[in-house]
Amino acid sequence: MLSDHTVSILIFAGIDVIMALSFYLPASAGQLSAGQGGFMALGAYTAAYLTVQYGVPFPIALAAGGMIGGLVGLAVGFPALRLRGLYLVLVTFGFGEMVRVLFLNAPAFGGPGGFAGIPPATTVWHVLGLLIVLVYFFTRLSGSRMGRAFAALRDDEAAAEAMGVNSTYVKLAAFTAGGVIAGLGGALYAHYTLFIDPEAFGVGRSLFVMLYAVFGGLASFWGAVVGASILSVLPELLRWVKDWREIFYGVLVLVMMLVRPQGLLDPALLARLSLRGERVAARG
């Protein structure tokens, strides 16, 4: 069996992948969010509050976390409709900070002292199960009507509108779905760490989530999966350098972004991989 240590690495890496996918979804429609930590906080606190205060069964609390993430994602989507690029990044960043400060000042949720006594519920299977559903969803999305609308909106919004895409609807859908995924990630996180405080979901979290997806490459959702997996496990692999660990981590990320600014999985590499897959399939 897996050791507790390995299980914890897997669970945290899995949650990081879920979070990176929550960033990737709106990003694939051209909507860059620097506030995914905020949605994660909402999911985490909602689910934890339900299980602790009301003894709600974990699956229901998990769904509630995702739902609140989605509702707030929809609400954030509206002001975001008028904004693009850097301005959108700033507004979503502001949203993330707002959520953090909100929980900091909410005694019912433990305030700065954090929220403790959450029952252990998240297992590696929950995380893996959600990941499988997400990977299935994203594989099917890329060849679907909405997936194409996302890509079109990212490439050229005015042309997409002229071709019949309701950009308002598509953007709101992207933000909502990103919020749902981040909310689920937060709920899973809370029921594994068993203690949450607002600082766990601050700017740092949002930026790392963004880094995972960008590091892996935004050309495909696999980029978010691969990027988050590598960067999440990397600190474990760097234990041997001891005190230099964070510097090593930073330098590795820096070098990688200099060598491959388009991310690990760029369109050319994806095309090669999918061609090889087809050749294998043709042979078999």
Partner 1 sequence: MSASLLAVDGLTRTFGSLVVLSKLDLTVEAGQIHAIIGPNGAGKTTFFNLVTGALAADSGHISFDGRQIDGLPAYRRTALGICRTFQNIRLFGSMTVLDNVLLGLHCRTHGGLLFPLLGVPFRPAKAEALARERAHEILELVGLALRARQAAIELPYGEQRRLEIARALASAPKLLLLDEPSAGMNTQETLELEVLIEQVNRRGVTILLIEHKMSLVMKLSRTVTVLNFGQKIAEGPPALVQRDPRVVEAYLGTE
SS3 128: helix
Residue closer to partner 1 (CB basis): 119 or 267? 267
Residue closer to partner 1 (CB basis): 110 or 223? 223
Q: Smallest gap, in angstroms, from Cβ of residue 75 to partner 1? A: 17
Structure tokens at 125: 């299977």
From CA 189, how far away is CA 202, in angstroms rounded?
14
Q: Smallest gap, in angstroms, from Cβ of residue 216 to partner 1? A: 16
Residue closer to partner 1 (CB basis): 6 or 144? 144
Residue closer to partner 1 (CB basis): 165 or 228? 165
Binding residues (CB under 8 A) for partner 1: these are: 133, 136-138, 140-141, 143-149, 151-152, 154-156, 158-167, 173, 177, 219, 267
From CA 147, how far away is CA 252, in angstroms rounded?
32
Q: Smallest gap, in angstroms, from Cβ of residue 101 to partner 1? A: 31
Q: Smallest gap, in angstroms, from Cβ of residue 189 to partner 1? A: 23
Structure tokens at 132: 């499988």
Q: Smallest gap, in angstroms, from Cβ of residue 95 to partner 1? A: 21
Residues 6+ apart with CB under 8 A from 164: none
Buried b (16+ CB within 10 A) or exposed e, 249-280: beeebeebeeeeeebbbbeebeeeeeeeeeee
Residue closer to partner 1 (CB basis): 220 or 232? 220
